[in-house]
Amino acid sequence: MPRIDGATLTTHEHPAPAGFFMPHYTMRMQIGPYRIEPNVILAPMAGVTDKPFRQLCKRLGAGLAVSEMTTSDPRFWNTSKSRTRMDHDGEPAPISVQIAGTVPAIMADAARHNVDHGAQIIDINMGCPAKKVCNAWAGSALMRDEALVAAIVSAVVNAVDVPVTLKIRTGWNADHRNAPVIARIAEDCGVAALAVHGRTRDQQYTGTAEYDTIAVIKSMLKIPVLANGDIDSPQKAAEVLRHTGADAVMIGRAAQGRPWIFREISHYLATGELLPPPGLPEIRDILLGHLGALHAFYGEVSGVRIARKHLGWYAKDRPENAAFRAVVNAAETPERQLQLTSDYFDALIAGDSFAIAA
């Protein structure tokens, strides 16, 4: 069994079978002054959790939606990309913004800058496994330097008057699962909540997430702990909460093309009943609304380009996905993209699955 640094691994029951329902489940948690309800959270994902997607997920049941990672380097704060990521106009509270970097003083300045631009919660990224982030010793690479973790977290907490949260992985690799040590440092430095992805950095997104380390961390801390990794159904959410005792679940890749997963999970946790899947007319309307929001937010050219990956995610489970993407990706204007998408779903609703490819 891999070593977990800083804690003794206890034996937990196996996850409950499909259909398991956790009675008397608390559907809320507190982060500073903010009541998060339901406690089903959208994870920060670079290139995904932009403002249109965050707003959509919140409308469909997410209790909190964390922004995609923003740089702490002030040289890039006034770029078009950074200004777009810092746009929170009209976004429902609380607004949670993730920052990334390696220098405590610069991270503190970045926290203040984002609070000045509307952030109500600051999230520190120590969970991203991407090479371009880790090669700069940011993201999950920071977990290798526990003293630096303490310095960064303390600097950010002391810099702002809003709650600070932290996202980490279980460790650097299977032989160095030091998340419990990092968790204790974070709580001692004043972090208001901790999210833990159940993989090590070297796993990236391969293999399967493990939840024993998250359970150990939850048993150690008084602050809320959010469980993340491979939670892709209401039943899995209940299993993970039961196994770990976590205060919330954080949903990442499973929300891509399926933003209604938040209402599905929260309904199941509250009632023990599975909601019926959304019908094609509702999926069509959700997607067309999402496309329209992307076009309005990014402008016509960038909006059409960015929307293509979302179109692929929405259609990924359909047998005619490849044909649909080949056609709709050729659209160069918002009007054409919307029309092709509407035609595709109208054909599916009419029972003519391959009409779009004809």
Tell me the C-alpha distance between 223 and 218, whole Å: 8
**For residue 137, what is the enclosing H or E element?**
none
CB burial readout 159-175, b (16+ within 10 A) else e: bbebbbbbbbbbbbebe
Three-class secondary structure of residue 200 per DSSP:
strand
Closest CA to 280 of 318, 310, 235, 312: 318
Tell me the C-alpha distance between 357 and 124, whole Å: 45
Residue-by-residue DSSP string for 238-261: HHHHHHH--SEEEE-GGGTT-TTH
Strands (E), 91-244: 96-100, 121-126, 164-171, 193-200, 225-228
Dihedrals phi, psi of 341, to nearest 5 degrees: -65, -45
CA distances 210 to 67, 169, 339, Å, are 25, 11, 43
Closest CA to 240 of 255, 254, 226: 226
Strands (E), the chain: 29-31, 34-36, 40-42, 64-65, 70-71, 96-100, 121-126, 164-171, 193-200, 225-228, 248-251
Q: Any idea which residue has 């403002």 for tokens? A: 51
Known catalytic residue at 128: yes
User: Of the residues 57, 128, 134, 189, which is catalytic?
Assistant: 128
Written as six digits, the tokens of 121 are 């919660």
Q: What positions carry a catalytic annotation?
A: 128
